[in-house]
């Protein structure tokens, strides 16, 4: 069986189901005795598919991300060499003003992102000259949900509405649109294999829509729509031994997409509550060893000191039954319920503690991203290092829990970049810890200013930093 024949067989299978529903039903006799399919039914199916493609395709874009990455075939034994590479994914316009949703992994690490709008027709001879290429800005990204929002300078674009109330059901016909292998505006058909499949995706464990609609590399970020053309999910990843479609595709459900889009568009990020508890999956062995009331689900393994969960009475060893009325049978259920919880309202948690069933209300605050926590600890007056264009914070005990444990217990943490040195490309990023300047150790903001003050304009500078547990040097010429 050739690769190209697989989508064709899927299409004829779906066609047979529709013909059966329309009256061309086989009886217990031979197939020759069956009624002939009505040509009107076939033509109506054909027209319905054409209308669906015409409705959805204009809102589906190709996303071209350019950045520096190791070659895909690089050997782990060879020295690390990065090369400029371009990857191609998909996206869907969700607002006529130029807002586009795609996957985080499509644009992660990109220095340049471009969006290619589809042409006005899909007729033979149509090529890239009929399409429009736009420079795109990444408005924000949520790695844990594998979602990102892009913005292009365009108005009046065709868009697909994000209907977070539209639920999918098992067996429902769905269609995937995108740029598999760079082939823009490709559409494939399948069914919903599972409306809530618990798997570990590119981000956290979540409940995904599983579909057998053929999805291949390049479909990432494109829409999954139902037979009415309603966006029900964003295609995210496949499970495959060959690298191509094996009928195991997964899409992020539209309620999660709507939540992420609204948060990123309004605030540049998704606003999530901080419950202050750490959880993990229950296994039969863990349940037997701890004498838990059930051998599946989720157990609280830790409760943060001073956190909202501890204040509400949550304890390690508690088994989570439900969150906001949603049953919690696995970590994917917990992740989805946590992200969908509305900010500003108490978290309603039902727990099992031994043979007792507890209902708790947790006044959970908004989770602060690490960068914002650093900014909260930084003083604009005391933390400014103008020659480097940064706002810094001394490494002290107050940073415990805000930054990862350091290999050197002193230095200056970069809380943010400022506009004082926009022309000076130091390479410093928020979260970097500065330990030395030109072989002079730095253990405080005062020491950093003194070391930088001794450098003259035009002199070379080498800053030793600790980034994600690794030491490295950043070099540049001082202005």
Q: Kindly list the catalytic residues.
A: 105, 146, 220
Contact 92, 60 (CB under 8 A): yes
- 411, two tokens: 């230095």
In 3-state terms the chain splits into helix, strand, coil percentages (rounded to 5) of: 25, 35, 40
Q: 28 in helix, strand or coil?
A: coil
Alpha helices in 270-401 (DSSP H): 284-290, 308-312, 331-340, 370-377
**Closest to 224 (Cα-Cα) out of 334, 103, 127:** 103
- Residue with the two structure tokens 């005795």: 33
Which class for 60: exposed (0-12), middle (13-18), buried (19 or more C-beta within 10 A)? buried
DSSP classification of residue 419:
G
Q: How many residues in total does the chain contain?
A: 479
CA distance 338 to 336: 5
Q: Radius of gyration (Cα) for the chain, nearest Å?
A: 27
Question: If DSSP states are collapsed to H, E and C, what string results for 243-259?
Answer: CCCCCCEEEEEHHHHHH
CA distance 18 to 34: 15
190 has which bridge partners?
A: 174
CA distance 99 to 150: 6
139 has which bridge partners?
A: none
Contact 265, 328 (CB under 8 A): no
């Amino acid at each position: 069986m050739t690769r190209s024949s697989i989508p064709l067989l899927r299409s004829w299978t779906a066609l047979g189901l529709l013909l059966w529903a329309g009256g061309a039903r086989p009886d217990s006799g031979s197939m020759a005795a069956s009624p002939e399919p009505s040509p009107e039914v076939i033509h109506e199916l054909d027209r319905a598919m054409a209308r669906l493609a015409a409705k959805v395709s204009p809102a589906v874009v190709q996303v071209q991300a350019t950045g520096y990455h190791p070659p895909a075939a690089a050997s782990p034994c060879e020295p690390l060499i990065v090369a400029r590479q371009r990857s191609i994914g998909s996206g869907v316009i969700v607002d006529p003003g130029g807002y586009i949703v795609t996957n985080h992994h499509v644009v992660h690490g990109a220095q340049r992102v471009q969006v290619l709008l589809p042409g006005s027709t899909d007729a033979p001879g149509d090529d890239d000259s009929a399409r429009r290429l736009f420079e795109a800005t990444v408005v924000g990204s949520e790695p844990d949900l594998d979602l990102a929002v892009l913005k292009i300078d365009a108005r009046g674009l065709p868009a697909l509405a994000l209907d977070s109330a539209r639920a999918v059901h098992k067996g429902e016909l769905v269609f995937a649109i995108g740029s598999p292998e760079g082939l823009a505006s490709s559409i494939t058909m399948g069914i919903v294999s599972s409306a809530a499949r618990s798997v570990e995706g590119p981000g956290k464990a979540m409940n995904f829509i599983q579909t057998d609609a053929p999805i291949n590399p390049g479909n990432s970020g494109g829409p999954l729509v139902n037979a009415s053309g309603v966006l029900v999910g964003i295609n995210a990843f496949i499970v495959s031994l060959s690298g191509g479609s094996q009928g195991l595709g997964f899409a992020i459900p539209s309620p999660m997409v709507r939540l992420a889009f609204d948060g990123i568009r309004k605030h540049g990020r998704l606003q999530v509550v901080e419950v202050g508890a750490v959880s993990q999956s229950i296994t039969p062995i863990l349940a037997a060893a701890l004498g838990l009331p059930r051998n599946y689900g989720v157990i609280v393994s830790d409760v943060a000191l001073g956190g909202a969960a501890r204040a509400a009475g949550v304890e390690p060893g508690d088994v989570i039954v439900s969150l906001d009325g949603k049953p919690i049978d696995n970590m994917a259920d917990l992740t989805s319920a946590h992200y969908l919880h509305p900010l500003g309202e108490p978290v309603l948690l039902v727990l099992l503690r031994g043979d007792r069933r507890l209902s708790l209300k947790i006044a959970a605050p908004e989770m602060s991203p690490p960068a914002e926590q650093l900014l909260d600890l930084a003083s604009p007056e005391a933390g400014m290092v103008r020659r480097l264009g940064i706002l810094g914070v001394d490494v002290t005990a107050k940073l415990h829990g805000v930054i990862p444990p350091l290999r050197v217990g002193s230095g200056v943490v970069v809380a943010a970049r400022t506009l004082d040195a926009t022309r000076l490309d130091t390479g410093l990023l928020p979260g970097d810890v500065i330990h030395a300047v030109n072989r002079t150790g730095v253990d405080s903001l005062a020491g950093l200013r003194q070391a930088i003050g001794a450098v003259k304009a035009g002199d070379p500078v080498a800053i030793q930093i600790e980034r994600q547990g690794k030491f490295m040097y950043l070099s540049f010429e001082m202005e």
